[in-house]
Amino acid sequence: MSTSLSSEQLTEIAREYGTPVYVYDAEKITFQYHSLTHEFHDQPARFFYACKALTNVHILKHIYSLGASFDCSSINEVKIARYAGIPADKILYTSNSISFSEIEEAQAEGVHINIDSLSNLDKFGRKYKNTYPVGIRLRPNIMAGGNLNISTGHDKSKFGIPINKIDEILAVVHKHKMDIAVLHIHTGSEISDVDLYMKGVDILLELAEKFPTVHTLDLGGGFKVPYKDGDSHTDISLLASAIKKAFAKAKAQTGREYNIWFEPGKFMVSECGYLIASVTVLKETSATTFAGVDTGFNHLIRPMFYGAYHRIENLSNPQGETRKYSVVGNVCETDTFAWERDVAEIKEGDLLVFRNAGAYGMEMASNFNSRFRPAEVMVKDGQPQLIRRRETFDDLLRNQII
């Protein structure tokens, strides 16, 4: 059974903690995690939550308690995960465009590492030889994912080492006698097409034959969740059976068996999250009726950055007749959450909720316009708990030399 927080519960939280406020439903995260692990229970599969989606330490601890591992995109994420009490062998650092010194730091932490450039691979080999098993992030030339911004596998993408450089990769590996444990791909976010996903998997299985030390194939993240009714999403059950088939076939042909790693970000935390805002002004124009709210792309950038759709509901008038509103933020820039959207009739002071706000919401928030970043509340076992206080004026000045 899926879960979601009730309008009453969200309204109560907004009253207690003020708006704008991010609210996360721990139970929904649990549900998402189990729906993944369930499909792969008979496989040597591990799930590394891609924590750049949402790094609040309470969320990390909750996800760790479920048995997950963690994928990190920066050395600071590695440190936050360590701070949350996650052991090094449950942390993976998948790097891109980083200096070698960060990789050295990750090595010193003892975490798994995927390297994504030939130059860093060469530096790593020269320094650590075969003493530290390491992964290689490859970039298959396939176009997958919702759009160019979030697709990472195509030819114009900066991510990974292009697979047409395979001879150079092998030369580096042989020169330093490296212990390559993992081959990795992450072909993009919002991949709902299982066939496309499997293209990447097949390429990886084929390339793995060139690496006798490889025991794990890391298939990345990018599972799509629905944002609105009738939206496509990744069929995990279908994906699982396709992956099992492909790995079984590879075993029959080559005798090799691989561990399977995944790095779900959005799938784990998108739907658990709610951003609640108050309506500050209603403004009629000849084009539309604006509903201005006390938040903006400084707190939820996805609509403006990716053209993302977030469901918007009026918590204060859930049964009201719907009318068309253009819901806009309070930042001094064009800042549109939704244009001419059906929302139950809005009055100034009403509470609106943006759904699917768990992934890449608070995590991409900024202080643009010198506004405070929102508070965060986690609901676990029915109990709301403040897990990040709202910023205050001191936070804006904290690092300025005055």
Give the residue numbers annotated as catalytic, written as ranges: 332
C-beta closer to ligand PLP: residue 52 or 299: 52
Nearest distance from C-beta of residue 71 to ligand PLP, angstroms: 5
CB of 51 to ligand PLP, least distance (A): 9
Angstrom distance (rounded) from CA 252 to CA 229: 41
CB atoms within 10 A of CB 282: 14
Nearer to ligand PLP, 114 or 295 (CB): 114
Nearer to ligand PLP, 186 or 199 (CB): 186
- Residue 56: closest CA among 362, 274, 393: 362
Q: Which residues have CB under 8 Å from 199's CB, separation 6+? A: 140, 142, 144
CB of 239 to ligand PLP, least distance (A): 13
Could you tell me how far CA 110 lies from the centroid of its own chain? Answer: 23
| Closer by beta carbon to ligand PLP, 25 or else 263 | 263
Distance, in Å, from the CA atom of 164 to the CA atom of 52, rounded to the nearest integer, reads: 29
Q: What CA–CA distance (Å, rounded) separates 223 from 265?
A: 8
Encode burial over 19-49: b for 16+ CB neighbours within 10 A, e otherwise. bbbbbbbbbbbbbbbeebbebbeeeebbbbb
Q: Are 53 and 358 in contact (CB under 8 A)?
A: yes
CB of 365: closest distance to ligand PLP in angstroms? Answer: 17
Beta carbon of residue 11, minimum distance to ligand PLP (angstroms, whole number): 29
Q: Which residues bind ligand PLP (CB under 6 A)?
A: 50, 52-53, 71, 73, 94, 186, 189, 220-223, 263-267, 359
Q: How far is the CB of 277 from ligand PLP (least distance, A)?
A: 24
144 or 277: whose CB is closer to ligand PLP?
144
Q: Which residue has the tokens 């930042």?
A: 331
DSSP-H helix ranges across 142-275: 166-175, 194-208, 236-254, 266-269
Cα separation of 261 and 376, whole Å? 30
DSSP 389: P
Instruction: Return d(Cα 248, Cα 233) in angstroms, integer.
Output: 25
Q: How many CA atoms lie within 13 A of 180 on its CB side?
A: 28
Angle between helices 57-65 and 75-83 (to 10 degrees): 70
Paired tokens of 385: 């708990």
Closest CB to ligand PLP among residues 50, 344:
50
For ligand PLP, give the closer residue by CB, 222 or 374. Answer: 222
Shortest reach from residue 262's CB to ligand PLP, in Å: 8
Closest residue to ligand PLP using C-beta atoms: 265
As to burial, measured by CB atoms within 10 angstroms (0-12 exposed, 13-18 middle, 19+ buried), residue 11 is middle
